[in-house]
Every structure is written in C-alpha cells, then in structure tokens.
Structure 1
Amino acid sequence: MNKILTLCLLFFVFQVHAQYLESGAPLPGVVVAHVPKSSGSYLGTPSVVILANGDYLASFDFFGPQCSSDKVHVYRSADKGKTWHFLTELADTFWGGLFVVDTDVYVLGVRGSDRNLSIRKSTDSGKSWSPHAILRAGRFHGSSTPVVFHNGKIYKGYDHLGIEDKSKAWMSENKSFIMWADENADLLKPDSWNYSEEIAKPKQIDGTGWLETNAVLGLDGAIRGITRIANESGYIAGHYAVDDKGAIVNGSVKAIPFLGGATKFNVMWDPKTKKYWSLTNYPSEIVRKPKMRAGGMRSVLALVSSPDLENWTVDKIVMASTDVKYHGFQYVDWQFDGKDIILMNRVGFSDEFGEADNAHNSNYIIFQRIRNYKKSKTTKELVRFVNK
C-alpha cells in the first residue's frame, strides 16, 4: 500500500487568504494527505461533511498506474480542521461522496471492481462501515456532488456511464439522472431508492457530453440536475428539471451560463444569503492558451454565486497560478459552516521532490476555510485573473 504522508500539525492560521501561488510556495490550509509523483498513485474525489457532534469527516480515493485496486481513506478532525487523523480504509470503493443523516454517515459511490452503484453506512462516526449494498448494477459515476434534503427526501445527482469506446468523444455516452429516497428509509435497501428518467446531453448543446451531476433545489421547489459539460469555453453547465415522479420536465433541458462548467463543481443553495454558491475552476483567459479546452484549466479556483442559477458573479478568486500544466486546485467538496465555508481541495502542486505529475494527477488533499464567505472579495493581487 502506498505510504501516505499525513500531516497532523496545528496551523495557527488555516483559513483561505486569496493567494497567487508559484512553484515552491507553501500551500494554504492544512495538508491532510500527500503522495509523491514517484509513487504512481494520485489522490482524488475529496469529500467532507460535518458530523452531528460538530466534528469534520473527510474521505478521498486513489487513482493512477500503480493503484492495483480502488480504495477510499477516511479521516476525522475534532478541532475544526486544524488537525486530521486517519480512521480507516474502505477497500474496493471509488468515487464516493459522504453525507449525514442524523448520527449516521453514508458514502455513496461505486464498487471499484465493477462500478456498480453502491452505498455503505457508518454508525460510529466513520470508524467502521457496513459492506457494500449494491443499489443498481451497471457502470455509474457520481463523485462527491451535493446531497439535497427537501420535504423529507434525500436527492443526489448521478451518471450512468456508457460503454467504454475510445473511438467516441469523451462523455458522449453518459446519461444523467436524479436518485432519491425518504430520509427515514433504510438507505441500504435498493427498494428504498427511486430514479428519474436518464438523459444524455442533447446534440444542440455545445460540448461532447456531461458528467458529475449536481442535484440542486430550484427556486420553485423542483429538483434540478446541473451538470459539468465537456466543452472548450467552460462558460456553460447542463440543466434539466425533474417532476415528483422523476420525469424530465418539458422544456427544462438546456445549457445555462456558468463560470467553470467544464470541470467538476458543487452548487448549493444558501437560505441565509438567498443565493446559490459554488467553488469552480474559473476559466480565466489570462491562463488560456490557443485552442485550450477549459477542462484542462484547473489552476484558478473561484468562489462564485448566483440568485437564480443563470446570472453568476465571481465573488472571490481563492487560489490562482498561471501554471496550468502542473498546478491544479480542483474537485472541491465543501459545506456551509456558520459564516464560513469549509472545503476539501484536490491539489496538484510542487513538493520537496519537484512538480506534480501534472495538474490533474493530484499529489495533495488539503483542508481550507473561507471565512465570512458572503463578504468575500478578490484581492488586488488576483484581480487580473477575473475576465473583463
């Protein structure tokens, strides 16, 4: 098993100050895990939740040429993210997202060996977990996208992967759907879950396909599917709505304006500010090279917000680098925590051994905090990354 270099150091300041990063600079936040690129193993799918007692629980998985099997590592912090401690390894588990129901914790993802849709449960705050409960057979993908609690139900966006055919465009065979269950149901039973109609990206929407569906509560109370889209610009996301029975609402399938829709993002509604918020890989034009696709631009992380899912504002450039080849601040999972946002960040960045393998092949998982997010502003140092 690849050795994880876990840093459980108490940082005096671990909130996110907007920061321009060059190779060799110290990373902001708290390093939860690190692997050198020489290991041939990389860190992915960060997820974070707040437990009933206020502790934080986080997870991430491993990928890369030296990973012989899929696995997830689970960590917990009892001091608001200042230090992190390894709890356990979940074998044969991949692309998992954590969520909490009362005092129980669940990880919804796939069984690594066959990509079947799977859920596991912990009743002791992440120390031990139930075996895989297979909800659906097939090849699925979901990542750590949001879980929505609404009117006594739990909603989660998911993706049904098409047959792996490298002769076809990436994501082109994927179908998006929403799954839901009653909050008080036995979530380990397949019969507890319902599924919407599945929908592939329509040809009239730009891009080759969509992935990593977010379940998002609309202003009208209906559940939306908001998807990442593989296109060049990065300025759109996919959108559809589902009715109470899971049918796709007529006229709801479209592209919506979005600031960073070509890489994975999480969109969540905040009743305090009456806005939707997200942390995205903002496609800053000062780092884009000719014909560069936005999915490969992961060196700028932005906090963005919208009153209606269609009119988005950059509230804060959180982290930025002009090195799109080796630096990536990506796949962020996050939660509201009072006036703050806490987040887990999958990072490709230089370490004592040199650069990361590349921006995508991440060598760090870091924890960060954005204090007083509703008043966040981009510093003068990073204003140049905001497109005019």
Structure 2
Amino acid sequence: MMLQRGVICLGVMAFAISACCPAGGEPVQKTVPGVVIDHSPQTSKIYIGSPSLAVLPDGTYVASHDEFGPGSTEHERAKTRVFISKDRGESWQHVADVEGQFWSTLFVHRGHLYLLGTWSHYGNLVIRRSDDGGRTWTSPEDEKSGLLAKGRFHCAPVPVVEYNGRIWRAVEDTTNPRQWGRSFRARVISAPADADLLVAENWTLSDPLPGNSSWLGGRFGGFLEGNIVIDPAGEILNILRVACPEGGKAAVVHVDRDGRTLRFDPDQDFVDFPGGAKKFTIRFDPQSQRYWSLVNWVPPKYQGLDAARVRNTLALVASRDLRHWEIRTVLLHHPDTQRHAFQYPDWLFDRDDIIAAIRTAYDDEAGGAHNAHDANYLTFHRFKRFRELTMRDSVVPLADLGLTDK
C-alpha cells in the first residue's frame, strides 16, 4: 500500500518500507531512522524543508516544516505544517497548515508559541503567534500584526536567543534573487524581550553585511543561515554557514549590542567548522560548559565531492570557545550521498538527551527521495546521554568513513 501524504507514524521508533524483492529472495526491509512525523513522496513534487522544534511549558513537543518544490506554493504563499506530540516524541498529530509562512523558526517566549520567518521564498519577514499550542495562528496583515519588514529575505529555522533584555535572531536578505549565495547579506533582528513581538516598530533590523567573492582565496560562495550565539566573554555573535567547494568553514560575525551594526574580519573570523557548508544550529549547554551542534560532517571517505551536497552523515560536535570544534560521534549515516540525507536538524536539550527534528531523504514505496536535497520525510530523534558519547559510539564503523579506529 502506498504511504499517503500526511500519514503519521504512531508509537514506533522506525518506519519500515517494503522494497523490491531480489531474485528468489524475501522482500528487503528498509527502515527510516527515527519517528516519522510527516511524509511527502517524490511523486507529489512537494518536498519537506525547514524542520523546527519547540517544547511548550506543559511539555508538549511542537514540530513544523515547510513545503518546497515544483508542486508547492513556496514562491507565492508558502505553507508550513505544524504537528504536536503529547508523549515526548513517540507519536505525532498534525494540527495546522499555516499559509504564508516559510523558512521559519518555532520558539516559545513568555508562554506563547511563535513562528518567525518569511512569507514565501525571498519574501517579507513575518512573525505569528499561537495561544493554543500551534492549532491556530495570528495573521501578519500589517505592521501591527506581524509584518516585520518588507523585502527579499532569506533565513532558516535558526535559534532565537534572549540576552541582555532582548531577543535576537539572524536573517539574511538578497540583492539578486536569481543568484544564490553571493547575493546574500547577513543581518540580525532583535526586540526588547517584554515587547509585543507582533509590532514591527518594536524590532531593530541591523544594517546589512555583504560578503565578498575574493574571500577564502576566491572560493567564497556566500554566507547564510546564521546562528545567534553568546560567546564566553558575553559578546553577541552571528555564526553563519559558509558556501565554499571543500566546506568545513563557518563565519563568525560580531554584533554590536544596539543590534544595528555587524562586523567581520575575513582574516580572523573564518573558523574551521565540520559540516559548515550546510545548515547547523549551535546551542550552549551550561552543564558541560560547551557549545554543541548537529552537523552534516563530510568524513574522509566522501571528501572531494561537493561538500554542500554531502548530507548522508549527521555528527555531534562540541566546542568550548566557538572557534575550535571536536567531532564527538556519528549519530546517523547512510553510505549513499545521492538520495539519502539527514539534514537541517533543529534540536533542543532535553535533560541528558538531545531531541531533534530532521529533514530526511530516505527510501519509500514511491522510489525514495527525488534526491538527497529534496527530502521526503520529517523525522524525530532522541539522542540519549549525548554528553557521554564518543566516536566509538558511532552508528557506523569508523573504517566505513575512511577513519582509523584508534
């Protein structure tokens, strides 16, 4: 039986798909890792993007994703789908379709649930609030109800951070919608923590910071999808994904406390960051006094490929200073890079665990994902006792990654 759009996996930690039978053999069972929250087969020409995850004050988990691809409305009035879980991620219920919401972050602030992103692909910057756990949402009709800025904005589900009496989030805009990457300009939005977040005048939008194609010896292809992070000295940083052929770089942009000015020194502020050519989320853990991230690291076996397209390996990384990063373990892996991926993870600490919503490209009865980028699943994962994990706990033998097991 074909798995239909929107069917939710209930109470199981993996979803088994029957594949074709080898000659004279039994059906091969291919298992999607994690709990399936949503599924959109490639035949729909609608792909799953922008996973986001939040936890309400009552313990309810909320997850969202948008829709992209030729069968979607991403360029006109984009759609974001919202799901809830009452059992800590073991099962999920679809509760809302939000029209006019794209590339968006779920976050909880002062007891309210918000979605902050764009109206459409390179659309206006908008925010919505839900007072019933994600079932219904406000509409950004004007500058008093959630329309924050008009323009051609780009972003992703990246952290919203409260610090020094304000909330902060990274965004980008583009000077040329036909040119991906190099046309992006880093920006930051912020607002007083106690302000009405639906009122545009309460927000400060920083001046734009453009990139320069001469950076990284001419290999710089753009920066995007920044993370607001507070460094050990209390400075506000925007750490961005960097497009370059070999990957493995992030850009550390300095944010003035007034939220208006961004500064970047290309000689000092590019850092080595595993998986830096793909979207990542960085969060600080007070217990370990480390910053953590889930990244699409490119293991030695896959080096030489286009780093931005290698998304088949999800690794846990950590740092004490945001400039030196250690790969702790491999959490998810598939040997194929063309049609399998565990990408755009949005994640949170849950006591000793990490919980994550992931845009997953994997096998299904419709022939699998269109390609690794064009994911057909939204999946939920719990990575237990993450602080204790080492490379020996990796889900794949290290030799299969081109590493020596030492």
Distance in 2 separating the partners of 1:120 and 1:56? 18
Distance in 2 separating the partners of 1:377 and 1:11? 26
Partner of 1:118: 126
Partner of 1:36: 41
Residue 241 (structure 2) pairs with residue 228 (structure 1):
yes
**Counterpart of 1:27 in 2: which secondary structure?**
strand
What are structure 2's unaligned runs of at least 5 residues? 16-27, 141-145
Partner of 1:60: 65
Partner of 2:56: 51
Partner of 2:25: none
> Paired residue for 2:300, among 285, 307, 316?
285
Structure 1, 4-13 or 255-264: larger mean CA deviation = 4-13
Number of residue equivalences: 374
> Is this contact kept in 2: 1:49–1:58, CA < 8 A?
yes
> Is this contact kept in 2: 1:46–1:332, CA < 8 A?
yes
- How much has 1:177 moved relative to structure 2? 1.4
Distance in 2 separating the partners of 1:70 and 1:115? 10
Partner of 1:318: 331
Using the aligned pairs only, state the percent identity: 33
Cα deviation 1:303-333 (Å, max 9, x = unaligned): 1001111111111101112211111110000
Equivalent residue letter for 2:8? L
Cα deviation 1:50-92 (Å, max 9, x = unaligned): 1111110111011111114510010000110011001111012
Equivalent residue letter for 1:49? A
Distance in 2 separating the partners of 1:58 and 1:3? 19
Distance in 2 separating the partners of 1:135 and 1:215? 19
Q: Given the superposition, is the C-alpha separation of residues 227 and 250 from structure 1 closer, same or farther in structure 2, using an over 3 Å criterion?
A: closer
**Counterpart of 1:138 in 2: which secondary structure?**
strand
**Counterpart of 1:358 in 2: which secondary structure?**
coil
Residue 165 (structure 2) pairs with residue 165 (structure 1):
no
Residue 333 (structure 2) pairs with residue 332 (structure 1):
no
> Paired residue for 1:71, among 54, 70, 79?
79
> Is this contact kept in 2: 1:24–1:351, CA < 8 A?
no
> Paired residue for 1:90, among 83, 98, 106?
98
TM-score by length of 2: 0.88
Distance in 2 separating the partners of 1:350 and 1:30? 14
Distance in 2 separating the partners of 1:387 and 1:188? 50
What are structure 1's unaligned runs of at least 5 residues? 15-22
Q: How does 1:267-278 map to 2 (within 5 A)?
A: 267-278=282-293
- How much has 1:222 moved relative to structure 2? 1.3
Distance in 2 separating the partners of 1:294 and 1:281? 9
Distance in 2 separating the partners of 1:64 and 1:38? 11
- How much has 1:11 moved relative to structure 2? 2.1
Distance in 1 separating the partners of 2:264 and 2:383? 38
Give the superposed CA RMSD.
2.0
Equivalent residue letter for 2:256? D
Distance in 2 separating the partners of 1:357 and 1:330? 15
Q: How does 1:14-25 map to 2 (within 5 A)?
A: 25=30
Distance in 2 separating the partners of 1:7 and 1:126? 17
Equivalent residue letter for 2:329? K
Between the two structures, name the one with larger relative contact order (CA 8 Å, sep ≥ 6): 1
**Counterpart of 1:334 in 2: which secondary structure?**
strand
Distance in 1 separating the partners of 2:122 and 2:314? 33
Q: Given the superposition, is the C-alpha separation of residues 5 and 90 from structure 1 closer, same or farther in structure 2, using an over 3 Å criterion?
A: closer
| Rg comparison, structure with higher value | 2
> Paired residue for 1:184, among 171, 194, 218?
194
**Counterpart of 2:5 in 1: which secondary structure?**
coil
Distance in 2 separating the partners of 1:131 and 1:273? 40
Partner of 2:23: none
Cα deviation 1:172-207 (Å, max 9, x = unaligned): 010001211111100001111112232122332342
Distance in 2 separating the partners of 1:11 and 1:3? 18
Distance in 2 separating the partners of 1:114 and 1:207? 21
**Counterpart of 1:96 in 2: which secondary structure?**
strand
Q: Given the superposition, is the C-alpha separation of residues 137 and 13 from structure 1 closer, same or farther in structure 2, using an over 3 Å criterion?
A: closer
TM-score by length of 1: 0.92
Q: How does 1:334-349 map to 2 (within 5 A)?
A: 334-349=347-362
